[in-house]
Amino acid sequence: MAKPALGRGLGALLSGAPPAGRPTASAPPAPVLSSPVPATDTLERVQRVALGRIRPCSFQPRKKFSEEALRELADSIKEQGIVQPLIVRDRGDYFELIAGERRWRASQLLGLAEVPVIVRQADDRAVLELALIENLQRENLNPIEEAHGYAQLIEQFQLKQEEVATKVGKSRAVVTNALRLLKLVPSIQDAVRDGLLSVGHAKVILGLATEKQQKTAAERVIKDGLNVRQTEVLVTRLQTGGSAVKTPGALTPLATDANVADVENRLRERFGTKVRLRYAQGKGSVEIAFFNDDDLERILQIVGVKVD
């Protein structure tokens, strides 16, 4: 039986609009070899450089490379060659990669002597920006690597979050929510990096004040395979001093209208915190949780409320 639809106001809001950040079904897959790089100057030329003279970039935000994916790329290069030249900068005795580390690593697997490159003038800040943009556009970074990349731009080059968001083509909320992940204890960051915890889980766990509580919640989520809503119930119990030792079924929240749940998820992504939407016959309320003054100020900035 179909679930009852929401009222016209909220239903119209949802109809035909895919959730932010989700690709549409008709979106074409990204080509294997192409890599987004800045538009090149007409005077730039492709030249061949000895593979041994190229070194990885110290600003590369991506730390993990799938061996299987690299082997697949190496097989493709073996058949078709390197379609997109690597982007490098001249460092005197060697060339430093700006974009194209996957192609460089795959070329090493093949034992290539030379690779095509474009040499570009770029300072450290530009190199970090370009490396972030390339990886973000190809969705190559895990959430923790992405967060560290934003943090590096802010700390090393004294940029504001709005400036970072503009440079990498993301919203301020995306950058803010990513940076919040770095407040997690290292072991939980590792779990997010390794895919044991989702970003949704991590954002809920951030509502816990102590490292001990965060670790307890993360261990329980991983052990019992809790979904995000079950994790919210678990976190609420820990916040109120309740026992976390319950059966997984006891953590299952009450069933909610699918459209309401979808809106709650979007709001949760937007504000980076727990959000409860109460809706009935065109009326209701939105409850946004915050856990300290800084968190409240962050939420107020998102909705455009200035604090004197």
In a domain, 156, yes or no: no
Same domain, 208 and 222: yes
Per residue in 53-80, pLDDT tens? 999 877 776 667 778 888 888 999 998 8
Q: Which amino acid is at 268?
A: R
In a domain, 7, yes or no: no
The answer for residues whose C-beta is within 8 angstroms of residue 42's C-beta and 6 or more apart is none
CATH number of the domain at 103, please. Answer: 3.90.1530.30
Give the Cα separation of 245 and 76 in Å (integer): 50
Same domain, 227 and 240: yes
User: DSSP secondary structure string, 213-263?
Assistant: HHHHHHHHHHHHT--HHHHHHHHHHHHTT--S---GGGGPPPP--HHHHHH
In a domain, 190, yes or no: no
Whether the pLDDT of residue 250 is over 70: the answer is no
Same domain, 249 and 265: no
What residues make up the domain containing 288? Answer: 254-308
Give the Cα separation of 234 and 220 in Å (integer): 9
Same domain, 237 and 305: no
Which residues are catalytic, by number? 101
Per residue in 140-185, pLDDT tens? 678 998 888 888 888 877 888 998 888 778 888 989 999 999 999 9
**Chain mean pLDDT for the chain:** 77
Q: How many C-beta neighbours within 10 Å does residue 240 have? A: 7
φ, ψ for residue 122, nearest 5 deg: -160, 140
Residue-level pLDDT at 18: 42
Same domain, 223 and 211: yes
Arithmetic mean of pLDDT, 7-13: 40
Same domain, 94 and 118: yes
Q: Write the burial class of residue 108 (CB in 10 Å: 0-12 exposed, 13-18 middle, 19+ buried).
A: middle
Same domain, 246 and 261: no
Same domain, 273 and 299: yes
Burial 110-130, CB ≥16 within 10 A → b, else e: eebeebbbbbbebeebbbbbb
Same domain, 308 and 277: yes
- Residue pointed to by tokens 């052990």: 223
The total of structural domains in the chain comes to 3
Same domain, 54 and 102: yes
Q: What is the pTM (predicted TM-score) of this model? A: 0.52
Domain end point (choices 77, 98, 122): 122
Give the Cα separation of 117 and 215 in Å (integer): 46
- Residue pointed to by tokens 């083509």: 169
φ, ψ for residue 9, nearest 5 deg: -60, -55
In a domain, 173, yes or no: no
The closest alpha carbon to 247, from 219, 276, 226, belongs to 226
Arithmetic mean of pLDDT, 199-206: 92
Write a three-state SS string for 151-187: HHHHHHHCCCHHHHHHHHCCCHHHHHHHHHHHHCCHH
Give the angle subtended at the CA of 295 by the CAs of 292 and 301, to the nearest 5°. 145
Give the Cα separation of 90 and 101 in Å (integer): 16
In a domain, 153, yes or no: no
Domain end point (choices 225, 253, 281): 253
Averaging pLDDT over each range in 20-24, 34-38, 70-74, 211-215, which range is the top one? Answer: 211-215
Give the Cα separation of 282 and 48 in Å (integer): 65
Same domain, 225 and 205: yes
How large is the C-alpha radius of gyration of the chain?
23
